[in-house]
Chain A
Amino acid sequence: MAKIIEVSQLSFSYPEEDGNPSSPALHDVSLDIEEGEFLAILGHNGCGKSTLAKHFNGLLKAESGSVKVMNMDASEEQNLLEIRRNVGMVFQNPDNQLIATVVDEDVAFALENLGVPYPEMVQRVDEALELVGMTKYRHHAPHRLSGGQKQRVAIAGVLAMRPRCIVLDEPTAMLDPQGRREVMKTIRRLNREQGITVVLITHYMDEAVQADRVVVMGEGEIILDGTPREVFQNVGLLHSLSLDVPQTAELMFALRQEDIKVPIAVLSVEECLEVLEKMLGGAKK
């Protein structure tokens, strides 16, 4: 498969404040993201997830090392527009990323910037709203929508560019459970049906297990990288990074500490139930 984003040996520090040199926010990070995959990035507060994400579309420039998006160098000014068109980004707070006061005008913002001609613009706005299921609300004022709906509008605003990849930085952190479900469903569908590469930064383990691949960061470095099953085997390590693991994995971990032989990475409730039944001697009703 083709690589859409290639990060190699990236380091980055924010400018120092009042002469206090800051420790690097990213240190020697290398990461390849494949076209079409669903990647989740985990890590405790301040470990550099957002900083890394901002390198994916040139919001921040690599200090050393390199970031390539579709074989274009993300530190070259003349590539930025093309990179940003292909790598969309959605942030945590929907209130701070909506520019217009009517839903469809907001979705059109990126298209106006790209100089898309009028008839095509209308068509692409319709298409983007359809993809996130917000067509009904096209003439509404965003500040009267629910959090989940606002965030879907923000996603539509990015989708209108027809990007190959969407990076979402904790898109569900400010939402209620209902809003979280709506947004996750939308993200999964975009990945499966539209083949859009998804990079999801999250603090929620139940969201991370839905990904094809999980990357765990700590103190500006990548610590684990693998399928959810592989990553969540390292319960002890994740705990030491002050991260949770899915509850089922937690249970298996506790059982194993009691010397009970169970598999390590059990990620769904059904699977967990099966394991427990087997353990209790196949006590099937």
Chain B
Amino acid sequence: MLKDVTIGQFFPGNSFVHRLDPRMKLLLTLLYVVALFLVPDFWGFLVIGALMGLVVAFSGISLRVVFRGLKSLIFIIVFTAFFNILYGGGEPLFPGISWLGWLKAEGVRNALFMIIRIILLILGTSYLTYTTSPVMLTDAMERLFRPLKVLRIPVHELAMMMTIALRFIPTLIDETDKIINAQKARGADFETGNIVRRARALVPILIPLLISAFRRAEELADAMECRCYHGGEGRTRYKVYSFSWRDWVALALMLAALSLIILMVIF
């Protein structure tokens, strides 16, 4: 079940999107998120949706993978929708039926709006990590944010932490699965009972997981030192990047979409 979590995973490939410069991809994703939050109405989502469609089509990674990943986030989506409906104003959606009085037009509209926004947000950021290896991604961050070093922000260290976190997500997920099965075999019950009971049932999973994560961290630190890791100073990089025509095409499309949305906001 946990194997379905695909967030932060990388699927190697050689598609148009894979071959974009990671720095450009990072920048595009930032612009995408900005555009997404500027969207004033449902028409705006059409623009963003079209853009996302292009990414999906030219990445060689099927939407199914993403939706499998989305399933694990269903809780956040339902939660958002619920509160938007609850606190939405406006006219009741079904004026005749009294017990549906809490369902207001404005609330439902807001809920839908938020759900689409969240899904598009997850899609956009997922495709960034699906098509960019963590090393490249953090490399790109390190390069893009290098100027921040002047402000004494430890850019290299943060990037390295990200690399390792992304690298260990699948390992820790496998491990969680194993622990859950081991506890189930001992008669633990994670599927029935109220929220408090279920939350309490998680304790025997989290503690072994935490302990093993610390042990792993210690071993990893040794392994990194053995391979001469000594911070960011004097490091060279295995990947060299240069912008190609693909990057400029992608940037042009993104800027076009962004301008369209800005126009929508203004008019």
Contacts and interface: CB of A to CB of B under 8 A. Distances in A.
Interface of A: 54, 57, 59, 81, 84-85, 88-89, 91, 93, 95-102, 104-105, 108-118, 121-122, 125, 139-141, 143, 157-158, 161
Given A97-B219, A101-B10, 5 more contacts: A84-B228, A88-B227, A100-B134, A102-B133, A143-B170
22 contacts: A54-B222, A59-B226, A84-B226, A89-B222, A93-B216, A93-B219, A97-B223, A98-B167, A99-B227, A100-B133, A100-B135, A100-B167, A101-B133, A102-B12, A110-B228, A113-B228, A114-B228, A115-B235, A116-B236, A157-B227, A161-B227, A161-B228
Interface in B146-199: 163-164, 166-167, 170-171, 174
A68 to B, nearest CB: 18
Contacts of A93: 216, 219
B210 to A, nearest CB: 15
Interface of B: 10, 12, 133-135, 163-164, 166-167, 170-171, 174, 216, 219-220, 222-230, 234-240
Contacts of A143: 170-171, 174
Contacts of A97: 219-220, 223
Contact of B236 (A54, A88, A117): A117
B226 A101 contact: no
Contacts of A104: 238
A81 B230 contact: yes
A91 B225 contact: no
A139 B12 CA distance: 7
Contacts of A91: 219, 222-223
Nearest to A104: B238
What 9 pairs across the A-B complex have the smallest Cβ distances? A97-B223, A108-B238, A110-B227, A96-B219, A89-B226, A113-B228, A115-B234, A105-B135, A100-B135
A139 B18 CA distance: 13
Contact of A113 (B163, B170, B227): B227
Nearest to A60: B222
Interface centre among A97, A113, A117 (most CB of B within 10 A): A113
Contacts of A96: 216, 219-220, 223
A99 B220 contact: yes
Nearest to A87: B226
B236 A112 contact: yes
